[in-house]
């Protein structure tokens, strides 16, 4: 009985430690993340520390981000872009329902 309890506790602790934060993201225009172009559509984001993975089907893009706190909560998830040569490069993602934003580093490649 004690062995089962210890195993279930260890499994629960492992799930908490390895659980990445998940969000949905909708792109309304072609957008560049870390040098990769993402077509308009719905994507899944997984944030694990300073690592962000944006995926849709088999397409997956990884980027390093810095999480910052804003003064107030954002009403919806939104994206701030830099426009370089007519290409929209994601600079920041503001997470709706929170006061957090994900800031992409100046080290993004591809633009």
C-alpha dihedral, 43 to 91 to 22 to 16, nearest 10°? 150
Asked if pLDDT for residue 98 goes beyond 80, the answer is yes
Residue 41 in any domain: the answer is yes
**Containing structural domain, residue 37:** 20-104
How many structural domains is the chain composed of?
A: 1
Residue 10 in any domain: the answer is no
Share of the chain above pLDDT 70, in %: 77
pTM of the predicted model, to two decimals?
A: 0.76
Residue 37 in any domain: the answer is yes
Residue 107's pLDDT band (cuts 50, 70, 90)? very low
| CA angle (66, 107, 94) in 5-degree steps | 35
Residue 13 in any domain: the answer is no
Residue 29 in any domain: the answer is yes
Torsions phi, psi of 16, nearest 5? -65, -45
Residue 15 in any domain: the answer is no
């Amino acid at each position: 009985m004690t062995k089962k309890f210890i195993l279930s506790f260890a499994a629960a602790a492992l799930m908490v430690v390895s659980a990445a934060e998940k969000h949905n993201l909708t792109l309304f225009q072609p957008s560049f993340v870390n040098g990769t172009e993402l077509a308009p559509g719905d994507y899944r984001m997984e944030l694990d520390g300073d690592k962000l993975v944006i995926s849709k089907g088999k397409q997956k893009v990884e980027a390093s981000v810095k999480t910052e706190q804003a003064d107030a909560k954002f009403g919806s998830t939104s994206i701030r872009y830099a426009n370089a040569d007519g290409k929209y490069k994601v600079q920041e993602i503001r997470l709706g329902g929170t006061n957090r934003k994900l800031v992409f580093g100046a080290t993004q490649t591809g633009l």
